[in-house]
Every structure is written in structure tokens, then in C-alpha cells.
């Protein structure tokens, strides 16, 4: 394939018309084309008077020697895997989020039949539990936005962007497309899937894994780890009221960042771990039309998708404030996983067609901010904030909210203005300054006012802050060696919960890497 780069398109046209534009620009006859596809599509809105699409397209021609000026495309190839382990053993994966599912998929594709243990429900039933919580405020602590098949990313925006540079990123995209994701994720500069698509894709992945011999144990919680001579030998599980022992000499721990009781158990069992930096803050909501106008201007006639943003501020104190997991046309999700806590996250469907935009607005915290030297101190820091938010919201899973103007003035909100909160099951007008650490409040205020200089309207008085966002990443890192094994032989800490990923893409990639390590480690 040959690549045509930097093709600027200033009107809404069909894919075939894009090809015709490229061929005309480079004087390539149609009859020379054997095959083609879009390689990349992005929006250039730096100049509000000239907002346009930029495309790269790949073409296969009958005679490449005629087009020596065009770049040759290097095709993606999976790195070779050297399988050393006996296929009679069944690796066990704890957790069916992106890391666990892609670890399972990689093992299945190489002839192994893993057992996947997930404390939550299959994704179809899990959605019912989530919907019931949003409607009634009745929390299922085993299956919710944090726990269940698909992991926390299922009820998010389904972003597939990442800061990592790995050859496995392409494999993740191709696998998602194979199992039902829109093909545009293969070429968009900022691909996303959306919760509505993810639910079906995850089910398709599960069905495939099961047809190839994999086993899923849903509603099943790992409650203990049997370790002999520093080697894992079995897992003790609980399904409703029935305890079972699952033999296991190879365990991929893809437990996610909210499995606090499992972190406690692993710590007691001697798994080496340490506290790590993470972030806390709030969700901020604006009208999506404000974001569109700020990002795209008002001149363009293109039918553009809902606009996104990504912002960062660094204060003189050394603290940083930044936006994270921005959800265009989305809603703020009730994401609690423990009784008596309030946790928020953001979610969008594929079309991103909601009235509001929302984003996490976070401030970094470090182990120096915690009250002890325990590796689990970050967990206690999170939980303390979540319990305070629960009480401030009314102790009924209503979230405390505040207008931006009132937050900046440190006064309780008394009304909702132009931006209507999307959080369910309900909200309570509050003063979030009362529960946030002072360094978090101060840095958020500085960040909001700075971001308004970069994105006009960010500090609009009627913008809504919803508390609290505490689960952006794991507060714990489980140590592993160059073979991705912990200090307990046979245990592979994996994904976001183990401290090695941050988002769907990087978690999925780490799942692939851990599965390859299992295959290659004798």
C-alpha cells in the first residue's frame, strides 16, 4: 500500500469523493487503483475561519514504481510469540475488564483455555443493575459501574486514545472492530466506541472465548489466595453463598482499581505493592453547544461531531489541575461500588448526542498527602472523600453539586441555572469546598479560571460541578519483575488496578502483554 498524506477537505463529502479528490490531486488514474481505505481522519480547528478535515488514505496500485514519491505503508504484524508452557494447564484470569478480556483473547488465540473469574454480572445483566441504581438508588455492591464484565470502561465514553506507544494498540483496535465496533475506530485520530456499542462488543468477545474453550465464572468473588513456598496454587472463591477452590498455578490479576478488599487480601498475603500518585476532583458540566462554539467557532458549515477538549494547568505550588475522560454529549454517572459512598464518572453513547458535555476536573495527590505509610493509604484517602460526599449529598446516593460561580466564591449553591445536572438518581445543592482538601479546592479554582482563558466559557457561572471523582486511576501499584511476575511466583499483576495502565486501550494492551508473558515464561 502507498499513503497519501495531508489531504485537506473543507466540505462534507462521501468517502468515494475523498478518493476522487486524492487521485485528482496526485494525477492518479482510477484504473490504477486495486484497493484503498482511509488511514487517518482528524479535524483541524486551529484557525476558526478555516476549520477542515485532514485525511490520510492508503491506496494499492497496479504498479508502485509509477508513484515513487508516495510513502510506502508498513503493515502491522503481531510480534512473534514463543510458547513454552504446556497447554494442559488452564491459566486463571481474575477480572473481566479490558485487561482481563484481552488477556483471555490472547491466550485463546494461542491454544490455551483460560478460566475468567468475575465478581460482577455478565454485561447484559450488569446494565440492568446499573440502570436500577440510577432509577432507585439501590446499589448492587457486586455489580455496578466499577464491577462486572467489561470493567469500569464499559460505562464511560469508550475512548481508545492513549499516551502509550505499543504495537499492540493496533491489535486492540482491530479486535474491537472484529467484534462489532464501528470501523471508523481504525482511522479516527481520537477513536471512541460509546457505552451502547461496548455492551454488544463485550458480549461478542465473551461468546467467542467460550466457543474456543474458555470458561467464565460470573458472580464469583476471589476471597483468598493459597500460596505455598512463594507460589500460587489455588484461589478460594465465593459465588453467592457457595465457596469453591479453583486450582491455579498461573493467575493474571486484572482486578481493576476499585477492588479494595482484594487489595487488602493480597497485601496480607505478602504481595509486594506500594502507594502511588493518583488524582481526585469533580466532574464539570457545560452545555455541549458552548464547547462546540469555543472549539469550532461559528463560521464553519461542516457537520462536525460534538467537540472535545483536553486542558492542563500547573500551579506555582507544584500541583497540577487537568481535565480527564472528557465526554462530549454525555452524562455524569453514579459510579459508587461501596455502600455509603459517592463516586462519579462520565459516560457517552457512540453518537454523543446529549445536551451537556462533561469532564473530570482533577488535582494530583501523592503519597505524601496520605495519613500513613501503608501501601493502601491512598485507598483510605479516596474512601474518606467518598464518604464525605455521600453525607453532603444527603446520605441517599444523591450527589452534591455546585455552580462554578458559587464554588469560586466558596458559597453553597441555591439554584441551578442554564446547565441542568445529568447525574442520577438525584443531586443536592451544596458547597463542595466543605469536603475537598484545601489544596484540591484551591488548585481547582486556579485551574478553572486558567482554562477559561484557553476555552472560552469554561468558567461560565452556570457550569455545574458534581462531587466527587476519585477513581481516575489506581492508588496502588503491585510490583512485578521483567517477566511481569510479582514476588509470588505464578501471579501476574495486570492492567489499571495493578498500576500499569490508565484507560481502556492501555489496559487492553497490558492484558495482551501479560498473556504473552504467561505463554513465554516456562
Domain residue spans of the chain: 2-72, 92-274+474-520, 277-469
pTM for this prediction: 0.96
pLDDT tens-digit readout, 239-288: 999 999 999 999 999 999 999 999 999 999 999 999 999 999 999 999 99
Task: Evaluate whether 177 touches 186 at the Cβ level (below 8 Å).
Answer: yes
CB atoms near residue 359 (< 10 Å): 30
The number of C-alpha atoms within 13 Å of 111 and in the hemisphere containing its C-beta is 10
Work out the burial of residue 9: count CB atoms within 10 Å of its CB; fewer than 13 is exposed, 13-18 middle, 19 or more buried: middle
Question: Does domain 92-274+474-520 sit in CATH 3.40.640.10?
Answer: no
Class at the top of the CATH hierarchy for domain 2-72: alpha beta
pLDDT tens-digit readout, 284-314: 999 999 999 999 999 999 999 999 999 999 9
pLDDT tens-digit readout, 418-450: 999 999 999 999 999 999 999 999 999 999 999
Q: Which helix (H) or strand (E) holds 333?
A: strand 331-334
Say yes or no: do domains 2-72 and 92-274+474-520 share a fold.
no
pLDDT at 522: 63
Rounded distance, CA 350 to CA 199, Å? 11
Q: Which of 292, 115, 288 is nearest to 218 (CA)?
A: 115
Q: Which of 333, 337, 360, 340 is nearest to 260 (CA)?
A: 337
Amino acid at each position: 500500500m502507498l499513503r497519501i498524506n495531508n489531504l485537506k477537505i473543507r466540505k462534507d463529502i462521501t468517502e468515494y469523493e475523498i478518493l476522487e479528490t486524492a487521485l485528482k490531486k496526485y494525477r492518479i488514474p482510477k484504473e490504477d487503483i486495486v484497493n484503498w481505505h482511509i488511514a487517518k481522519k482528524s479535524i483541524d480547528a486551529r484557525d476558526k475561519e478555516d476549520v477542515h478535515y485532514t485525511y490520510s488514505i492508503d491506496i494499492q496500485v497496479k504498479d508502485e514504481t509509477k508513484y515513487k514519491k508516495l510513502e510506502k505503508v508498513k503493515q502491522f504484524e503481531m510480534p512473534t510469540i514463543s510458547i513454552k508452557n504446556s497447554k494442559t494447564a488452564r491459566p486463571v484470569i481474575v477480572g473481566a475488564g479490558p485487561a482481563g478480556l484481552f488477556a483471555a483473547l490472547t491466550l485463546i488465540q494461542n491454544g490455551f483455555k483460560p478460566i475468567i473469574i468475575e465478581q460482577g454480572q455478565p454485561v447484559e445483566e450488569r446494565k440492568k443493575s446499573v440502570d436500577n441504581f440510577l432509577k432507585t438508588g439501590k446499589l448492587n455492591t457486586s455489580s455496578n459501574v466499577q464491577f462486572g464484565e467489561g470493567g469500569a470502561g464499559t460505562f464511560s465514553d469508550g475512548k481508545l486514545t492513549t499516551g502509550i506507544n505499543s504495537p499492540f494498540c493496533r491489535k486492540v483496535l482491530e479486535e474491537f472492530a472484529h467484534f462489532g465496533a464501528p470501523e471508523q475506530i481504525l482511522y479516527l485520530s481520537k477513536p471512541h466506541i460509546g457505552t451502547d456499542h461496548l455492551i454488544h462488543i463485550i458480549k461478542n468477545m465473551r461468546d467467542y472465548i467460550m466457543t474456543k474453550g474458555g470458561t467464565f465464572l460470573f458472580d464469583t468473588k476471589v476471597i483468598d489466595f493459597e500460596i505455598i513456598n512463594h507460589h500460587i496454587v489455588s484461589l478460594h472463591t465465593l459465588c453467592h453463598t457457595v465457596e469453591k477452590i479453583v486450582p491455579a498455578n498461573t493467575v493474571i490479576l486484572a482486578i481493576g482499581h476499585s477492588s479494595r478488599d482484594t487489595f487488602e487480601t493480597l497485601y496480607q498475603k505478602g504481595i509486594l505493592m506500594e502507594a502511588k500518585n493518583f488524582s481526585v476532583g469533580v466532574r464539570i458540566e457545560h452545555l455541549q453547544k458552548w464547547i462546540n462554539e469555543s472549539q469550532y467557532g461559528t463560521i464553519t458549515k461542516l457537520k462536525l461531531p460534538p467537540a472535545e477538549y483536553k486542558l492542563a494547568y500547573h500551579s506555582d505550588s507544584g500541583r497540577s489541575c487537568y481535565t480527564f475522560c472528557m465526554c462530549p454529549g454525555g452524562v455524569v454517572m453514579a459510579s459508587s461500588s461501596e455502600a455509603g459512598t459517592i463516586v462519579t464518572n462520565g459516560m457517552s453513547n457512540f453518537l454523543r448526542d446529549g445536551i451537556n458535555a462533561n469532564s473530570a476536573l482533577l488535582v494530583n495527590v501523592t503519597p505524601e498527602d496520605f495519613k500513613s505509610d501503608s501501601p493502601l493509604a491512598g485507598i483510605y484517602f479516596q474512601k474518606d472523600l467518598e464518604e464525605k460526599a455521600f453525607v453532603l449529598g444527603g446520605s441517599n446516593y444523591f450527589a452534591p453539586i455546585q455552580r462554578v460561580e458559587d464554588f469560586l466564591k466558596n458559597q453553597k449553591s441555591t439554584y441551578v441555572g442554564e446547565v441542568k445536572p445529568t447525574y442520577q438518581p438525584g443531586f443536592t445543592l451544596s458547597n463542595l469546598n466543605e469536603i475537598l482538601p484545601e489544596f484540591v479546592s484551591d488548585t481547582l479554582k486556579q485551574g478553572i479560571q486558567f482554562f477559561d482563558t484557553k476555552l472560552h466559557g469554561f468558567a461560565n457561572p452556570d457550569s455545574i460541578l458534581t462531587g466527587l471523582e476519585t477513581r481516575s486511576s489506581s492508588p496502588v501499584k503491585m510490583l512485578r519483575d521483567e517477566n511481569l511476575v510479582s514476588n509470588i511466583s505464578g501471579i501476574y499483576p495486570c492492567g489499571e488496578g495493578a498500576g500499569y495502565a490508565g484507560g481502556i486501550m492501555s489496559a487492553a494492551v497490558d492484558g495482551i502483554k501479560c498473556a504473552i508473558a504467561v505463554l513465554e515464561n516456562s
